[in-house]
Structure formats: structure tokens, C-alpha cells
């Protein structure tokens, strides 16, 4: 059954090869002062920086820039952005890049006029935002997080070695997002496959929860199958437009809350990876991949029927003559084979973790989970299997 839910997503999506043509129309809805937020030099190498700046200038905007946003955006960068917003009376934050840049933009958006300490209030105490929110728009260059159509913001506070996420109310969503699959062609393969597994993990975090046979489960299975199929094509031909466009839209659907409706959800793999990222600064999707298989092997018996369904409906595992446990384990093995086919490393050691980090990561991770409540000791057991 579908449990009661409310759904609202205010982000306007422009999708396709010509989607950039809509930027001028959107810019006309905001004042003159724009904070242009981006990473290092990738958008300059592909000519996107010049294209965006040309449009901003033609629209008569005053542009303030903040570049160098990290793959794991830091709280110090959030504070720097908030300072620029206040000093330049910013009307719109335009994030050009992947999910990290957009996450940082949303964090700047809620922090710029916050009363008190934004980190403590919004990422630790999870208070509701009660101050002015600066509008955000985005131009996506790397798929994975769905930050282009949600209110999530994952930030690393390097001073306390904590990486944590927060989902705000939909008012923090980007007002508009421009999605041109061709902009993802230049992304290095390591980042592409990291994004792909991030999408897969988002879907699994929502799927592996509850015992109900509802519409959302079928939606998640369909998106998973599309992602798997298109990813295999993109690995062999990174400029296959159909494959890259399918991956991009799978990513957006994977965490724009549609695939979470009426689901209790898990998110323990993400909780563990966030702390792994705080200690190693590894690519988020690669960290998720390393943790996923050991984690699911640790908990699958607590939700075995859903893991059996995953094996049969997503990976086409033949159940004949097999026990539920055998079917479930085969499904997890299929997931592992998929990660290997993408060329993803499968040990923490390969991601730069050292053995002495494991207890620190485990005991700084939030306890919790879906089918099984994970204590710090359980988390440490999983990390040892990952190492």
C-alpha cells in the first residue's frame, strides 16, 4: 500500500541540447547582482564559463565569482560565499558544476543571513531556516547527486572532521536547473562512474526499506534498470548522447523525492560514507560503492524478501532451486559485478583510508539504519569488511 504523503517540488527543469537558451529568460526574473559559483577549471576548459559569462553580461548583470569549490565542499567555503552575498547584495546564486557546487550554493543560500552559527543550527541541530533564503539556479555538468532538483546540502566541516548532510524544505531547491547531457562528456571516467554509483546508491537507500509492494518500488526498479543499461553503454562510448541523457535523468529522478514517496528509507550507507569522506576526501560515489556490498551482506537477512525481489526484478536472477538467502546473495553479487564492470575500486585501502581511521570513522558516524539498526560496533564490523 501507499502511505499518506505530501509532495511538492518547485524546481523548473530545462533538459536537452538547447537548454542553455533558457538561461536569459530565467535571469530576467532576478535582480542585477549574481554570485557565480563553480569548481576549478573544468568549466573554463569546455568553454562553458565564457558562454555563461557572455549571457550574464548581455543580461546586464553584475557578477561576483567564487571558484574552487571542492568535490567535498567545506564549511569555510560556505562562510566565504555568505560573506560575498552580504557584501555584494546578491540576488541570485548561479551554481555551475556538479552536485558539490550546487550543494555549496544551497548552503550559502541559507547561511548568508542566518542568526547565530549556521553550522550548529542547520547541520547539527537541524533547525528550520527562519531567515532570508537567497535564490539558487544551477547549470549541471556532472550527474549523480540530484542536487539540481532537491533541497539537500552535504558539507564538510574540516575543523571538526565531520561531513554531514541536511535536507531543507523545498524553498531551498534551485529555482531552475539547466541539464544538457553534452556538458557531461568531458567529465573524467573516474568521476563519471562515481556519479553513476551515487545514483544507484540513492535508489537502493530508498528501495531497501519496508515490506510493502507499492508503486514507488516499481518506479525505483525501472530507474535502476535504465541506469544499469545506460551505464554499460556510456563506459564503452562516453559520448553516446542517449546513454548520457538517460543517466542524467536517472540521477535527477533518483533523489528529487519521487523515488522516496511512501518509503521509510535507510541512508546508513551514506552516513558511513560521509565520515569516510571527512577523513579521506575520497570521491563520494566511490566511497558508497566500497561500503555498499559489505553493508548489504551484513543486513540482508533482516529484509530478505526485498533483497530477493531486488535480485529477481533488477538483475534477472533465476530463482529456480535456490533458497531465499541464495537468491539474495546472488543479487548482491550482481551489484558487485556491476561496480567492477564500471572499474570502481572495492576496498577502503584503495580510497586512501588507513586501518587506524576505521574506529574514528565508525564512532563518529550516526547510529541508525533501515532493516537493521546499526550501532557503532556494527558500523566498525562493516568497515573492517570494506578495508
Q: What are the pLDDT digits (tens) for 6-20?
A: 899 999 999 999 999
121: pLDDT strictly greater than 80: yes
pLDDT reported for residue 160: 92
Q: How confident is the model at residue 5 (pLDDT cuts 50, 70, 90)?
A: confident
pLDDT reported for residue 325: 98
pLDDT reported for residue 3: 78
pLDDT reported for residue 345: 92
Q: How confident is the model at residue 119 (pLDDT cuts 50, 70, 90)?
A: very high
Widest CA span in the chain: 69
The predicted-structure confidence for 295-312, as pLDDT tens digits, reads as follows 999 999 999 999 999 999
State percent of the chain over pLDDT 90: 95
The predicted-structure confidence for 221-250, as pLDDT tens digits, reads as follows 999 999 999 999 999 999 999 999 999 999
> What does the pLDDT average to over 255-265?
93
* Three-state secondary-structure class, residue 78: helix
d(CA 22, CA 262): 34
Residue 50: which of 63, 31, 68 has the closest Cα? Answer: 63
Q: How confident is the model at residue 260 (pLDDT cuts 50, 70, 90)?
A: very high
Backbone angles phi, psi at 282, to 5 degrees: -75, 160
Residue pair 344/144 in contact by the 8 Å Cβ criterion: no
Burial string for 203-233 (b: 16+ CB within 10 Å, else e) reads: bbbbbbbbeeeeebbebbbebbebbbebbee
Q: How confident is the model at residue 184 (pLDDT cuts 50, 70, 90)?
A: very high
pLDDT reported for residue 84: 98
> What does the pLDDT average to over 195-215?
92
Q: What is the mean pLDDT of the chain?
A: 96
350: pLDDT strictly greater than 90: yes
The predicted-structure confidence for 330-339, as pLDDT tens digits, reads as follows 999 999 999 9
List CB contacts of 19: < 8 A, sequence separation 6 or more: 178, 179, 180
pLDDT reported for residue 115: 95
Residue pair 386/288 in contact by the 8 Å Cβ criterion: no
Q: How confident is the model at residue 212 (pLDDT cuts 50, 70, 90)?
A: confident
Find the range with the poorest average confidence among 70-74, 145-149, 299-303: 70-74
The DSSP line for 198-254 is HHHHHHHHHHSS-S---HHHHHHHHHHHHHHHHHHHHHH-TT-HHHHHHHHHHHHHH
Ordered by where they begin, the domains of the chain are 12-183 (3.40.50.1970), 189-386 (1.20.1090.10)
210: pLDDT strictly greater than 90: no
DSSP state letter for 17 = T
* Three-state secondary-structure class, residue 86: helix
Residue pair 55/26 in contact by the 8 Å Cβ criterion: no
Backbone angles phi, psi at 52, to 5 degrees: -65, -45
The grid coordinates of residue 185 equal 562528456
Amino acid at each position: 500500500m501507499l502511505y499518506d504523503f505530501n509532495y511538492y517540488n518547485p524546481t523548473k527543469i530545462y533538459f536537452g541540447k538547447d537548454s542553455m537558451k533558457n538561461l536569459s529568460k530565467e535571469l530576467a526574473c532576478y535582480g542585477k547582482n549574481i554570485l557565480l559559483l563553480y569548481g576549478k577549471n573544468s568549466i573554463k576548459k569546455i568553454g562553458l564559463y565564457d558562454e555563461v559569462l557572455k549571457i550574464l553580461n548581455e543580461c546586464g548583470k553584475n557578477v561576483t565569482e567564487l571558484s574552487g569549490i571542492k568535490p567535498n565542499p567545506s564549511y569555510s567555503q560556505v562562510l566565504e560565499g555568505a560573506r560575498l552575498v552580504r557584501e555584494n547584495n546578491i540576488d541570485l546564486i548561479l551554481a555551475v558544476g556538479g552536485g558539490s557546487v550546487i550543494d555549496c550554493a544551497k548552503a550559502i543560500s541559507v547561511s548568508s543571513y542566518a542568526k547565530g552559527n549556521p553550522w550548529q543550527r542547520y547541520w547539527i541541530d537541524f533547525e528550520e531556516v527562519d531567515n532570508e533564503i537567497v535564490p539558487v539556479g544551477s547549470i549541471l555538468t556532472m550527474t549523480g547527486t540530484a542536487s539540481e532538483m532537491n533541497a539537500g546540502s552535504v558539507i564538510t566541516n574540516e575543523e571538526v572532521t565531520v561531513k554531514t548532510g541536511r535536507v531543507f524544505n523545498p524553498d531551498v531547491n534551485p529555482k531552475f536547473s539547466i541539464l544538457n547531457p553534452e556538458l557531461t562528456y568531458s567529465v573524467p571516467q573516474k568521476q563519471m562512474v562515481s556519479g553513476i554509483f551515487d545514483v544507484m546508491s540513492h535508489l537502493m537507500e530508498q528501495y531497501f526499506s519496508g515490506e510493502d509492494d507499492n508503486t514507488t518500488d516499481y518506479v525505483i526498479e525501472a530507474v535502476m534498470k535504465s541506469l544499469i543499461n545506460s551505464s554499460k553503454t556510456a563506459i564503452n562510448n562516453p559520448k553516446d548522447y542517449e546513454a548520457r541523457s538517460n543517466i542524467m535523468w536517472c540521477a535527477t529522478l533518483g533523489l528529487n523525492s519521487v523515488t522516496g514517496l511512501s518509503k521509510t528509507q535507510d541512508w546508513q550507507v551514506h552516513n558511513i560514507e560521509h565520515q569516510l569522506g571527512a577523513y579521506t576526501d575520497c570521491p563520494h560515489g566511490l566511497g558508497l560503492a566500497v561500503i555498499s556490498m559489505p553493508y548489504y551482506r551484513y543486513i540482508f537477512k533482516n529484509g530478505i524478501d526485498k533483497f530477493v525481489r531486488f535480485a529477481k526484478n533488477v538483475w534477472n536472477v533465476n530463482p529456480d532451486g535456490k533458497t531465499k538467502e541464495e537468491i539474495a546473495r546472488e543479487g548482491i553479487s550482481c551489484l558487485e559485478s556491476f561496480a567492477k564492470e564500471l572499474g570502481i575500486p572495492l576496498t577502503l585501502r584503495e580510497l586512501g583510508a588507513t586501518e587506524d581511521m576505521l574506529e574514528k570513522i565508525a564512532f563518529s558516524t550516526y547510529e541508525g539504519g533501515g532493516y537493521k539498526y546499526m550501532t557503532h560496533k556494527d558500523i566498525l564490523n562493516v568497515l573492517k569488511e570494506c578495508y
